């Protein structure tokens, strides 16, 4: 059996490899703490589970769901965007329900890229954009992110030829893996860039609700003119601790949303209607459940950053996401440091190289394990790492 050529350019999914390493150590009896994958340990709020249970008992939810998502969920999404961002959306034409945002982000490349078309993809970045572009026959053009620029791309530095050939620009703020955030000024520049080069902006706003110190990340669609040039992906996974439920949505430019809907009607049949009913309960229901969960991550962030700094690591304090993007100490690269932490401390972290070449000297820690486990992981790193304190900044 021979797989197709396009499959050969695809590395094994980052977390599959980590899972294997973790399982092998556990099999040897090592107490491994995983700060690898960004999968919240906190449970889905009970009123959302109740909504699922009630809807699942109703036989009308047992048939194929409407392709574009239920009217109720699309209306709830539009209302939530209005309340949260002050952005007006037409639930009929500007909202599409997804089987998790990863699904839509992967398929969007098929809709907008012809063979050899370029897509501008941040390096480092969430790996799905790059892989989806390759699978669709397009070419990812890496756009470097650097710490000195707050991990925001320098749009003016994108070569004219690449900007001209590009059809899609993928962006993601609050950002995975760097935890960087973007403000509206940046999004205004993105709109101008997209207009000038006729590029579709695909903004992934999965982490908009996971923010600290009173900070409220904006939507790309708040930038004037954004709806003419872009779409925004969202997910219930992180906000409501629903990663296993597989529910997300895309909003924005009606033509782009409808084009993605056309592809999806041909290859999937939507998410279980009862899960969509639970999504309505999540978006329309009390939001203090989100604030409580974010408060937990904020405390973990404070504790972990303090502990890692005490261990001599030069860790910035992120104001969003539950990730820490940590520069590796001298003498290591991302893979050797991740292996070192696994072997010496029994702690799984993600090597930054998995997010692109520019992640080569970083590892990502996800604070999505229970408090006591995060605390223990940080203590083990502090006790067993033995690196020198970084120079004062």
Ligand X SMILES: Cc1ncc(COP(=O)(O)O)c(C=O)c1O
Minimum CB distance to ligand X smaller for 163 or for 274: 274
Query: Omega of the bond prior to 177 within 30 degrees of 0, cis?
Result: yes
219 binds ligand X (CB under 6 A): no
Tokens 């996401």 belong to which residue?
321
Q: Is 248 in the site for ligand X (CB under 6 A)?
A: yes
Residues that bind ligand X (rule: CB under 6 A) add up to a total of: 13
Q: Are 85 and 219 in contact (CB under 8 A)?
A: yes
Q: Determine which residue in the list 123, 204, 209, 298 makes contact with ligand X, applying CB under 6 A.
A: 204
Using the rule CB under 6 A, give the single segment among 1-9, 100-108, 311-319, 365-373 that binds ligand X: 100-108
Q: Does residue 243 touch ligand X according to CB under 6 A?
A: yes
Instruction: Name, in order, each residue with C-beta under 8 angstroms of 202's C-beta and a sequence gap of 6 or more.
Output: 105, 108, 129, 168, 169, 170, 171, 230, 231, 233
- Sheet with 95-98, edge to edge strand ranges: 95-98, 248-252, 230-235, 200-204, 166-171, 118-123, 139-144
Stretch that binds ligand X, among 64-72, 83-91, 235-243, 271-279 (CB under 6 A): 235-243
Are 74 and 254 spatial neighbours (Cβ–Cβ below 8 Å)?
no
**37 vs 385 by CB, closer to ligand X:** 37
Strands 33-34 and 347-348: parallel
The H or E element that residue 57 is part of is none
Task: Pick the binder of ligand X from 237, 276, 350, 368 (CB under 6 A).
Answer: 237
Residue 153 C-beta: closest distance to ligand X, Å = 15
- Check binding of 126 to ligand X (CB under 6 A): yes
The residues in 326-345 that bind ligand X, with binding defined as CB under 6 A, are: none
Smallest separation (angstroms) from ligand X to the CB of 174? 9
**Is 279 among the residues that bind ligand X (CB under 6 A)?**
no
Place of tokens 């009173």: 214
Q: Please tell me whether residue 100 binds ligand X under the rule CB under 6 A.
A: yes
Closest distance to ligand X from the beta carbon of 281 (Å): 17
Nearer to ligand X, 70 or 321 (CB): 321
Using the minimum distance from each CB to ligand X, give the nearer residue, 100 or 329: 100
Instruction: Rank residues 329 and 334 by Cβ distance to ligand X and give the closer one.
Output: 334
Q: Rounded to the nearest whole angstrom, what is the least distance from the CB of residue 40 to ligand X in the complex?
A: 10
Please state the closest distance from residue 97 (CB atom) to ligand X, in A: 11
To ligand X, the closest distance from the beta carbon of 323 in angstroms equals 9
Dist. CA 122–CA 143, nearest whole Å? 5
Binding mask of the shown chain, residues 180 to 199, with x at each position contacting ligand X by CB under 6 A: --------------------
Q: Where are the alpha helices (DSSP H) in the chain?
A: 5-8, 14-27, 46-56, 71-85, 101-112, 127-135, 160-165, 184-197, 226-229, 254-267, 273-284, 288-310, 334-345, 371-385
Nearest CB to ligand X, comparing residues 193 and 355 = 355
Cβ neighbours of residue 297 closer than 8 Å, sequence gap 6 or more = 210, 212, 322, 367, 368
DSSP state of 113: -
**Cα–Cα distance between 136 and 119 in angstroms, integer?**
11
Task: Count Cβ neighbours within 10 Å for each residue of 129-157 and write b for 16 or more, e otherwise.
Answer: bbbbbbbbebbbbbbbbeeeebbbbebee
Among 74, 75, 102, 382, binds ligand X (CB under 6 A): 102
Sole window of 70-78, 94-102, 334-342, 378-386 interacting with ligand X (rule: CB under 6 A): 94-102
Site string for ligand X, 141-180 (x = CB under 6 A): -------------------------------x---x----
Residue 61 interacts with ligand X (CB under 6 A): yes or no: no
Stretch binding ligand X (CB under 6 A), from 13-21, 22-30, 98-106, 271-279: 98-106
Among 206, 219, 276, 366, which residue sits at the site for ligand X (rule: CB under 6 A)?
206
Largest CA distance in the chain: 64
Q: Which residues of the chain form contacts with ligand X (CB under 6 A)?
A: 38, 100-102, 126, 172, 176, 204, 206, 235, 237, 243, 248
């Amino acid at each position: 059996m021979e797989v197709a050529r396009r499959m050969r350019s695809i590395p094994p999914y980052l977390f599959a490899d980590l899972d294997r390493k973790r399982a092998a150590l556990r099999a040897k009896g090592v107490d491994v703490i995983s700060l690898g994958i960004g999968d919240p340990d906190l449970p889905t709020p009970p009123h959302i589970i109740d909504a699922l249970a009630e809807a699942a008992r109703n036989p009308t939810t047992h048939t194929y769901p409407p392709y574009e998502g239920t009217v109720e969920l699309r209306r709830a999404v539009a209302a939530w965007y209005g309340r949260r961002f002050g952005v007006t959306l037409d639930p009929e034409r500007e909202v599409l329900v997804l089987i998790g945002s990863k699904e839509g982000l992967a398929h969007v490349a098929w809709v907008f890229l012809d063979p050899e078309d370029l897509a501008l993809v941040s390096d480092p970045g969430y790996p799905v954009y790059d892989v989806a572009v390759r699978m669709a026959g397009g070419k990812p053009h890496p756009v470097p992110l650097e710490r000195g620029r707050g991990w925001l791309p320098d749009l003016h530095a994108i070569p004219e030829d690449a900007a001209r050939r590009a059809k899609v620009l993928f962006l993601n703020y609050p950002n995975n893996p760097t935890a960087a955030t973007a403000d509206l000024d940046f999004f205004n520049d993105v709109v101008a860039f997209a207009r000038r080069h006729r590029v579709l902006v695909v903004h992934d706003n999965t982490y908009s609700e996971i923010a600290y110190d009173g900070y409220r990340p904006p939507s790309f669609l708040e930038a004037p003119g954004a709806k003419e040039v872009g779409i925004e992906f969202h997910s219930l996974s992180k906000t409501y601790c629903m990663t296993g439920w597989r529910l997300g949505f895309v909003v924005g430019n009606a033509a782009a949303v409808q084009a993605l809907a056309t592809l999806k009607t041909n290859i999937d049949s939507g998410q279980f209607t009862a899960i969509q009913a639970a999504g309505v309960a999540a978006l329309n229901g009390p939001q203090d459940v989100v604030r409580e969960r974010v408060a937990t991550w904020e405390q973990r962030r404070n504790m972990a950053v303090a502990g890692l700094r005490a261990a001599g690591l030069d860790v910035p304090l992120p104001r969003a996401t539950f990730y820490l993007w940590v520069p590796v100490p001298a003498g290591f690269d991302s893979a050797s440091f991740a292996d070192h932490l696994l072997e010496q401390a029994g702690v799984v972290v993600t090597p930054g190289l998995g997010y692109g070449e520019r992640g080569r000297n970083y590892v990502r820690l996800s604070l999505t394990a229970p408090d006591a486990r995060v605390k223990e992981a940080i203590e083990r790193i502090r006790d067993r790492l033995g690196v020198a304190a970084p120079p004062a900044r």
